[in-house]
Structure 1
């Protein structure tokens, strides 16, 4: 076996409830490929904690006393080397989900999600995929479809910049498929899927899989 080992996914937990952090740390400690590198008690500690611990993924609560998770997400996304952010909450109201996505969150999960779902979300987000609870996906897309037609028109015009294959990949992202699933559907390798995804995101000026899925909905692809 090679001396080189795969480094675990470094995770930072931010929640003003110590019991939540302890519970999440217990869940994540059951895995071999995820390591909790630190915790913080409020959103205003997020930037300093990230600069101290260099996490790959941050799990943070949306409701905190001094600085909420939405504002903390936006602050983290403004860093030169930004981690991927998953917002955790006890409720999935439409406006909270949309605000989290707009702030740059790569995922949104309920705190009541089972342990395997939380673990899978961290792995997916770290790999460049998004993570939304099934209820959140449905409600986000329903809300998008009720929004201004100008956004839909702009999205439909923008897809003209994409090649046929890039368009197929974006559509499948909107349907919630992983890179592996997209590759199987299109009979191409995951590396090819990632290449098409990167090209599509660059052309559309979109960063993040969740935002790309939102774009696909606005464009009428899903």
Structure 2
């Protein structure tokens, strides 16, 4: 489904990504692990078309070359990003934020169906459809952000630090929801520092350090690696 090769990206003289390559298959969930500054968010922004990258980079999605394609065209093809910080419109209602997410070719065609799906996935949002997003808790806003991304009918859902700043009970609920999304057939690429929770929903994982992929394996292999947290993520499984 997604094929990436030779991705390098710099901010001025700082090399954020250095020759990153990987593949993601249809229906697969992959997690990208690493400490702050490893280049994880830059990776998702590059795939989304939000950051310029080196000329030798090649990106294809469903057999379509994305390398020089604009961000909005990538969304139309089925890539959807839930950014770190959520990027919501706090002065608009839950429903209005969701409708903005449906403003793609596939999203418009399936707006009614997708809204029913996200309200089933997040019943609290249906009950609060008219509430201004800015008055909601962090966990509720994350629900809106994920639901808005799903309104575009994505083939690949990318999430940047979805558990950041959330209470442990909310994190547990969040990853149970991601399991449901995975079961629906949507592929996912998740950037996270929460090792246990993210690998619990993933098929495979990659470990990044200073802009490079330095480790990879199945979710079970990475969960069983006693050196993973200490080497790349500190001593805690939840950072």
What's the TM-score once normalised by structure 2's chain length? 0.31
Which has the larger share of strand? 2
Which has the larger share of helix? 1
